[in-house]
Amino acid sequence: MKAVLLLEDGTVFHGRGFGAEGFKCGEAVFNTSMTGYQEILTDPSYNEQIITMTYPLIGNYGINEGDIESRGIFASGFVVREYCDYPSNFQSQQTLGKYLKDNNIIGIDSIDTRALTRHIRDKGAMRAIIASGDEQLLSIDNLKNELAKYPGLEGRDIVKDISIKTAQPFGNHSQDKEFKVAAFDFGIKTNILRMLDAAGCNVTIFPADTNAQTILDGGFDGVFLSNGPGDPEPLTYAIVTIKELLGKIPVFGICLGHQLLSLAMGGSAYKLKFGHRGGNQPVQNLKTKKVEITSQNHGFCVNLEALDKNKVELTHVNLNDNTLEGIRCKNVPAFSVQYHPESSPGPHDSAYLFDEFTNMMNDFKKV
């Protein structure tokens, strides 16, 4: 089965299709992780993105239910150098190709992913269309016409389509757990919920557009702002809610949650040239001076200069490009990081942040 990846600047990559047939638009990005393709595919932060894996062999350990990070795949497509359709792993339950087909996701292999990655690094993440099927479907002129209709990610709210619609508990709530946490679902990953649960929290997941009063009336000890896809600035409803919660309840944010907390504190955001996506991003904790190797997945970043240093303390910085990776509010109990301390996939260097959240909730109870 033939397949095509067409970028908005006219660059075309021809390859072999696996997974579903058809076409789909999204933003072309790359991820440098060597493992974890299943967790990456099921991270809702990849909504409307066509993911290129820089590691050349993908699919060799198959798919298993235990490593699924959400209720499905939200990415628009998957690009690899070499797809392995005969996995060898004791946990494997099906092939990657079948998993993509079952979720109606198009995959393409047998292309030069190094050339594609270098192109994105030079030119920046860009709109793209991926297609697999017959010759008529793969017509470049037709694909260009379809791609011209796609608006891209900037200035759009792409959270509302992936967030849950009604509140729901996570796991088994127990009286033995010390804290009660409300988690906003902007595209939350399952391992975040697992780690909150392991830290002694009874977690209830709420839709992205839940208002502040609903949370305050629920008797919660803390609020978690999850990761999620796209541009944070169009999510005005979430920014308003966070402003109303600050000072009344402890807040911890990750990724998009970090950006939303920063905007609620008067900051602004901008789009990175090609984003940070992978499991090996070095981040320095400015308090301890220690370097953490982190898992990351974001295309937007908070503007350092826009934050009021009298209200916000900078806590973490990316050592690759000196971009902002963490903040702590000085006058209210709230902090956030841009990266993913829950990993899945990635290193566990930053798992201590969940303990910092429970310590913050414990201190707030005593006030």
Q: Per-residue confidence at 313, pLDDT binned at 50, 70, 90?
A: very high
| Residues above pLDDT 70, as percent of the chain | 100
Residues 6+ apart with CB under 8 A from 311: 265, 266, 329, 330, 331
User: Which letter, b or e, does each residue of 174-198 get, where b requires 16 or more Cβ atoms within 10 Å of its Cβ?
Assistant: eeebebbbbbbbbbbbbbbbebbbe
Residue 313 CA from chain centroid, whole number: 24
**Comparison of pLDDT for 118 and 134, the residue scoring more:** 118
Read off the pTM: 0.96
Please tell me the distance from the alpha carbon of residue 356 to that of residue 47, in angstroms, as a whole number.
Answer: 29
65-70-74-75 Cα dihedral, nearest 10 degrees: -60
Residue 4 token pair: 């095509």
Q: Per-residue confidence at 367, pLDDT binned at 50, 70, 90?
A: confident
Residue 159, sorted as left (phi over 0), alpha (psi -120 to 50) or beta, turns out to be alpha
Please tell me the distance from the alpha carbon of residue 183 to that of residue 169, in angstroms, as a whole number.
Answer: 10
Residue 80 token pair: 């690899």
| Residues above pLDDT 90, as percent of the chain | 96
Stretch 165-190: mean pLDDT, rounded?
A: 96
Stretch 79-85: mean pLDDT, rounded?
A: 97
pLDDT of residue 303: 93
- Which residue segments constitute the domains of the chain, with CATH numbers given? 2-148 (3.50.30.20), 168-366 (3.40.50.880)
Supply the DSSP symbol for 306. G
In a 3-state reduction of DSSP, which class is residue 224?
A: strand
| Mean of per-residue pLDDT scores for the chain | 96
pLDDT tens, residue by residue, 217-244: 999 999 999 999 999 999 999 999 999 9
Q: Per-residue confidence at 305, pLDDT binned at 50, 70, 90?
A: confident
What residues are labeled active site? 255, 340, 342
pLDDT tens, residue by residue, 30-54: 999 999 999 999 999 999 999 999 9
pLDDT of residue 144: 97
CA-CA distances (angstroms) from residue 189 to 167, 219, 233? Answer: 16, 24, 21
Stretch 54-76: mean pLDDT, rounded?
A: 95
Q: Per-residue confidence at 252, pLDDT binned at 50, 70, 90?
A: very high
